[in-house]
Amino acid sequence: MPENNCKEREDLERWIKSNPEILGDDIAIIGEQVQTKSGPLDFLGIDNNGNLVIVELKRDTLPREVLAQAIDYASDLSTWENEKLSEICQAFTGESLEDFFVSKFPDTSLEELTINQAQRLLLVGFSIEESLNRMIEWLSSRFSVGVNAIILNYVKTASGDELLFRTVIIPEEVEREKTNKKKFVIEKSNEPGNYDEAALKEKLTQYLSQNLYSAQRIRDYFLPILLKNKVVTREEMRKEFIKMGGANESQAGYFLALISSQLGFKWNDFLRQVISYEFPVNKWEKDNFSIRSEYRELVKSVLDGQRK
């Protein structure tokens, strides 16, 4: 076995951690050896569309079995909530998912995305079985599955320089175009609803009763903070979240982004009928939150009912 091949096996993880662009310039790594129901996956990434990327490494030839392994991981990750992903990102990068995402993809608004809407599979090795190559091309072309393989070639020059070349099975521009076409466009709106008081109370009660992180934080922190104040800025809300124990320093901004997304979904017009906000800094970041004066008693009543 050539000496360079031994080097390849030992250094593959280090190379990818040091040079994540090996995976593609639209992917950022948020976790390593992430535990799933089927064992630890090598790297967990996120792309600039908010999709999770399952990265599986083989230090030699990519066998056909690695595809089933990656699909198994993806089936588990598809159910993961944003809070869990943020905890993984915090442990690996030292940053919340919100801060890390914004730093890696500064031209993309996190509030305009749905995180983990889809999963991509990325298999990395130094060669590939012909059968796996054929399966990847078939899944990609016939069923638009987000799967690809990166084949690496390591070369050490006479002067001692180490070079790493990469080829991909599916051209990356084709994969990106496919991902963009598959991306579900979330309908957004800033228009409030126009429900009568009984219907509005019922919709608000049903929403706040859901077992969702965003709904629970709106119920337990966001609305109570608004009831205590006439207007609350985004920064004031972030500090109150931390003070009340709704999030730590690294998580507070991320949870506010999730809540802002909920307020902007077209179908949540009943939330906008109750909650007012402005855009004082830019056109996508909501700020200066308040409960409309005519609905303050209704909100108190709904929250009291939730506590019983």
Q: Which of 149, 182, 215 is the last residue of a domain?
A: 182
In the 8-state DSSP scheme, what is residue 232?
Answer: B
The pLDDT of residue 190 is: 93
Same domain as 220, residue 177: no
Per-residue pLDDT of the chain (308 residues; tens, 9 = 90+): 334 444 454 578 888 888 899 999 899 999 999 999 999 999 999 998 889 999 999 988 999 999 999 999 999 999 898 888 988 999 999 888 878 888 898 887 766 677 888 899 999 999 999 999 999 989 987 787 889 999 998 777 888 787 778 899 988 777 766 666 555 556 789 999 999 999 999 999 999 998 777 788 899 999 999 999 999 999 999 999 889 987 777 677 777 877 888 898 889 999 999 999 999 887 778 999 999 999 999 999 999 988 76
In angstroms and rounded to an integer, the radius of gyration of the C-alpha atoms of the chain is 23
Same domain as 233, residue 170: no
Give the integer Cα–Cα distance in Å for 249 and 243.
10
> Is 270 within the bounds of a domain?
yes
> Is 77 within the bounds of a domain?
yes
Q: What CATH number corresponds to the domain at position 43?
A: 3.40.1350.10
Same domain as 220, residue 117: no
pTM of the model: 0.65
> Is 46 within the bounds of a domain?
yes
Q: Which of 182, 206, 241 is the last residue of a domain?
A: 182
**Which tokens is 33 given?**
């050896």
State the Cα angle at 54 between 51 and 57, rounded to 5°: 150
Round to the nearest angstrom and report the end-to-end CA distance of the chain.
Answer: 69
Q: How many folded domains does the chain comprise?
A: 2
Same domain as 256, residue 136: no
Same domain as 123, residue 10: yes
- What residue numbers bound the domain in which 111 lies? 3-182
Give the integer Cα–Cα distance in Å for 239 and 224.
14
> Is 187 within the bounds of a domain?
no
Q: What CATH number corresponds to the domain at position 204?
A: 1.10.10
Same domain as 106, residue 209: no
Same domain as 163, residue 217: no
Same domain as 234, residue 129: no
The pLDDT of residue 6 is: 42
